[in-house]
Amino acid sequence: MSSPTRPTLKSIARRLGISPSTVSRTLNGQGKSNRISDATQQAVREMALELGFAPNRLARSLRLKKTATVGLVIPDVSNPFFAAIAHEVAVAAREHHYSIALCDSQEETAVEVESLESLAHWHVEGLLVCPVGESGEHFRDWERGGTPLVVIDRVPPGCDFPSVTSDNRGGAKDATRYLLECGHRRIACIQGIPTTSSNEERLAGYREAMEAAGVQVDERLVVGESFLEEAGYCGMRKLLGAKPRPTAVFAFGNLLALGAMRAVRERGLTIPSDVSLIGFDDYPYADHLAAPLTTVAQDCRALGRRSFERLYEAICSGQPAERACCRVPTTLVRRESVRSWE
């Protein structure tokens, strides 16, 4: 009872007493060019409809060497930032009649490696990946396959695939400059995974702005080593213990900011009167927080869409996408988590 064996080209052909090729051609709109009579075409279409025929895409893909599928590898889909990217990719893929195979690498490089292999087995036509970022060795293997790949958000060290990322340096620079303009001088930052490009760029932007303003960076004030909430919490605890305490903190990720807020709160302090905070990434809730969060908003939708489109072009052209990095601008959205000193 379970499987009434879906109809196939063959079964349709058999019922009509014709050959599978004829059925295939009509159903693919090649009836005219192959001189299938209108009568036959009619019959085929009717029968297909009646039986609810759906072509087996496995067989089709095998034959055509085209799967119309792209892989999407994401460190954690439940992170709103990545979720937004995934959403946009899914929408774009649908528009182009592509399917997407999703893997959640759980922020672990080992899982990421495994995911890449799995997707290779499925012969996806292209790969979109937000790398965990610690290492990029395993991407070498992928490269040999000749399947296009586009990296999103974080570029792992030693990886020169085409990428789509936010303008991290610019964003961080804007944020830091803003803090400086507000009169802050002891500005700390809680960074993410230090080896990732996005982190490095943000750090660079931070340093650059500090330097331009002629204020020395106190190295004890740059803390953190992962993008997770816990790291934000620990980082902020450490910073609050420092003396003199920094007057402003720049958190390099949404989860980091969240953890930082938890630490501040736990200490009985308030933002921004006791300490100012700026985050990276925006989200709908930011507006309603106890201290509405000033943050460097990334355009997740653009990230998702642009990356899919670059990949799609590469797939269609048969060429790997241009190695160049595509930068999506960020915008500083000013809310109320930064205190102004005059």
Partner DNA sequence: CCTCTTAGCGAAAACGTTTGTGCAACGCCT
Partner DNA sequence: AGGCGTTGCACAAACGTTTTCGCTAAGAGG
- What is the Rg, in whole angstroms, of the alpha carbon atoms belonging to the chain? 26
Which listed residue (14, 32, 94, 334) binds a second copy by CB under 8 A? 94
Cβ count near 306 (within 10 Å): 20
Structure tokens at 133: 């970022």
Smallest gap from residue 70 Cβ to a second copy (A): 11
Query: Quick check: 6 and 54 in contact, CB under 8 A?
Result: yes
Residue with tokens 């460190």: 75
Q: Which stretch binds a second copy (CB under 8 A): 15-23, 28-36, 80-88, 305-313?
A: 80-88
Which listed residue (174, 229, 281, 299) binds a second copy by CB under 8 A? 229
**120 touching a second copy, by CB under 8 A:** yes
Smallest gap from residue 29 Cβ to DNA (A): 10
Q: By the criterion CB under 7 A, which residues form the site for DNA?
A: 5, 8-10, 17-22, 24-25, 27-28, 30, 34-37, 39-40, 53-56, 59-60, 62-65
The entry of a second copy, DNA, none near residue 102 (CB within 5 to 8 angstroms by kind) is a second copy
For residue 305, give the 3-state DSSP assignment: helix
For residue 66, give the 3-state DSSP assignment: coil
Which residues from 152-191 bind a second copy, rule CB under 8 A?
Answer: none
Query: Quick check: 139 and 149 in contact, CB under 8 A?
Result: yes
Distances (CA, A) of 85 to 13, 14, 218: 44, 47, 35
The entry of DNA, a second copy, none near residue 273 (CB within 5 to 8 angstroms by kind) is none
Which listed residue (28, 50, 54, 270) binds a second copy by CB under 8 A? 54
**121 touching a second copy, by CB under 8 A:** yes
Smallest gap from residue 21 Cβ to DNA (A): 3
Assign 3-class secondary structure to 1-28: CCCCCCCCHHHHHHHHCCCHHHHHHHHC
